[in-house]
Structure 1
């Protein structure tokens, strides 16, 4: 489910951007969408782990997909392709709402808002924006380290009590997801 959801998020944003985008910019748009979803709904869209890296905050497993660590037969490999100069592009065209079946209307609305607000920025402009406006990101000095959900919740204006409750809810969701995965 993770790969399908992130692929659909990526395709949706690429579709709104003429089908091609610098992967640094894409990574930031995806991060900002998850961040906004957590602010609004207490949960991310992708379900990915957030990490601080030298070029700002990223979604860990999504980063791996973007830089080419994927199965060609999977949804990412069928819908998304690598391009020269650190670009990614859509392999498919004419995607419509039914193609985004992993994404709710609320999640698509978050992607729309993020694209509207940040889609016109260049890759380094959006990178700098995340450095300056996402206090949960800390410069890892050439390495990477996790961004704890509580830090993100506090950064987007939640109180300590709200952040603790939201983290507890996320932990319960992850536990249920693991149980559900063993039943399949």
Structure 2
């Protein structure tokens, strides 16, 4: 169950970061950039970019469902644009360009390019450490808990949004409605997109 997660859009975000990195990007670096894309969208537009589930891990915050997609654990038909090879994520075909990524709006690509300008030069562990220092919603898991969920409300609060609770409620409501539509329209061979909601 996707629970409102925009898997195809997330795959296009991952592909664009790989393209900007020359066709191949370290998995840890990509994981941090995916999280920062989701976070930056919440900061600029008061809503997540692809409505992922957020968690705190030892190596910083992550977007869980995106990471599952990159690792081939979910939505395999959607994540064909990229493939993981050991510690890297590569664009699956050299012919894939930014123009192919039609799930991304101008606002989305602006965020991704801006993040690449800010962080593209960093090594993966430097970027991880940056998220530890600057994403105050992240909590270091203790020895008994491998990961801790990060609520949308906590992110909005960390971003200084005065209406954090209301924004988080709207985001969760959107996810719940999308989940209901998934259940209504799902068919045996796949899950069609829903024209009632913007992608």
TM-score with structure 2 setting the length: 0.84
5+ unaligned residues in a row in structure 1: which ranges? Answer: none
Moved more, 98-107 or 26-35: 98-107
Match of 2:181 in 1: 180
Tell me whether 1:167 sits opposite 2:171 in the alignment. Answer: no
Instruction: After TM superposition, list the pairs within 5 Å mapping 1:52-63 onto structure 2.
Output: 52-63=56-67
Match of 1:133 in 2: 134
Measured on the aligned residues, the alpha-carbon RMSD in Å equals 1.7
Q: Which has the higher helix share?
A: 1
2:81 pairs with one of 79, 82, 85: 79
Give how far 1:97 is off: 4.7
SS in 2 for 1:52: strand
CA contact (8 A) 2:69 2:75 kept: no
Give how far 1:114 is off: 0.9
Match of 2:37 in 1: 33
Give how far 1:127 is off: 0.3
Aligned residues: 179
Match of 1:116 in 2: 117
Cα 1:98–1:19 shift into 2, 3 Å = closer
1:144 pairs with one of 142, 147, 168: 147
Separation in 2 of the partners of 1:24 and 1:68? 16
TM-score with structure 1 setting the length: 0.90
2:160 pairs with one of 157, 162, 165: 157
SS in 2 for 1:36: helix
Cα 1:134–1:71 shift into 2, 3 Å = closer
Match of 2:189 in 1: none
CA contact (8 A) 2:17 2:112 kept: yes
5+ unaligned residues in a row in structure 2: which ranges? Answer: 186-199
Match of 1:49 in 2: 53
